[in-house]
Structure 1
Amino acid sequence: ACPFETQRAAGLTGRVGAMGLKTGPNGDRWYVCMPLYHGTGGTTALVCMVTGITCCIGTKFSTSRFWTDVRDSNSTGIVYVGETARYLINTPLSALDRKHKVRFMFGNGLRPDVWHRFVDRFGIEIVGEFFNSTEGVMALFNGSRGPFTATSVGHQGAIERWRTRNTYVPVECDMVTGELVRDPKTGFCRRKSYEEGSEILVAMPHESAFVGYWNNPEATEKRFERNVFKKGDLWYHTGDMVR
């Protein structure tokens, strides 16, 4: 477990604006049936509270009830976690598949083989796919409106890529052990290109930039990697390989 700072959710409000979501009584209505104690559902609820978007809370996720609840609540947006989208796309085809007001979906872990099928079948205009973890210090976002940016976890454009070029860095690692590969002479790691990809490390100005795991300093310390490219530098292990 780890503390989740509300400022992280507040930081997503700009992304919501980029997706063209409308706030207020006559604005968008966001259907959330994910647990509110989990990162995705909780973040969405907080974003709604901050922005004034209506949050339509479902009791639980159900493939048989999902679209009925969406229609009954007049929702214009839905929240997903990768596998829930797969469950929904594997239900029998129905004449009601597009009988709803949903134009956007927001979540993470949408598999490439599900992405296009889901959008085409249910008529979704915007997919807001983000890449993060509950304790993570790294966040990527892709507000996809078509095939050019589809199936990507962080298609944020050239400016944002340039801005974070020395913050989110792929570093060579052993594909079997997951350990970083260090030069036997210098002891430093080798940076890889974004096209090659590898585990992403995140530059940390100081240890307190990561809130850490609740009452677990040992687990918190394991997230740090030191002396990666030079003596005294500090990086955060994401444990995720991206290219």
Structure 2
Amino acid sequence: MSMSVLKKPFGVYFLAILFLLAPIGNVFISFAGSGVENWYDSGVFGPFLQTIPAMDWIWLGLLFLTGILLFRPHKLSWSVAIFTLILILCINAYRLYHVDTNSIDPVFFKIFSLLAIICTVSVLVISFYFRFPYLDRRASWLTNTRRVDIRTSVVCAGQKAITESLSKTGSRISFEQPGSFRKNEIVVLKFPEISPIEVKAKVVENLDSGARVEFEELDGQFRQDLGRWLKSRGQSE
């Protein structure tokens, strides 16, 4: 499957923008709630920044990092973003119950700490987007896998089909007749034009006229045959 097929996860992008803006907003709201007049003057704002504890800078920095990570639709970056949000949630939960030592009014700060927790939990919406067609779960954890939009014949569990895209990790195939495959079902594929070797694949999504499959431990000979076949058509893995 080519990356152009993936839909834009606008819900995640919206959250990413909020998390990028949240650190600045949190600082401004905290200063505004301190009861100090003219806190925005340079002579007051600078000393105020120096009073922010190191732990606060850590979770604010993690919040900003989360926003950056969510802008990249990749399973590694989103997984790291989930981890950082859980960490932020724990920090805010701790500060919510140990706020009396803070110089800012406890009641005021508890309200915004609670809002921070609610906002952090709300990013779990990315779990909804952590799937096709918003995220390519066939991609490698550390590198991007190149998808080639190319058509070739394939026999899937005895049914004739055509590939819509192909890579070293999987394929998107269309059937001549509607298939009845189940998600996570293991099927046997054979690509007559590519290699005589059969390969096993897992169905990761059932489509109206086909399926997306992920290869299971490709045979070394098939991988070589696939590479040679793609190169013969001016493509690369």
Q: Would the TM-score normalized by the shorter structure come out above 0.5? A: no
Structure with more helix by fraction = 2
Structure with max Cα Rg: 2
Could you state the TM-score of these two structures normalised by the residue count of structure 2?
A: 0.28
Higher-RCO chain (CA-CA 8 Å, sequence separation at least 6): 2
Structure with more strand by fraction = 1
Could you state the TM-score of these two structures normalised by the residue count of structure 1?
A: 0.28
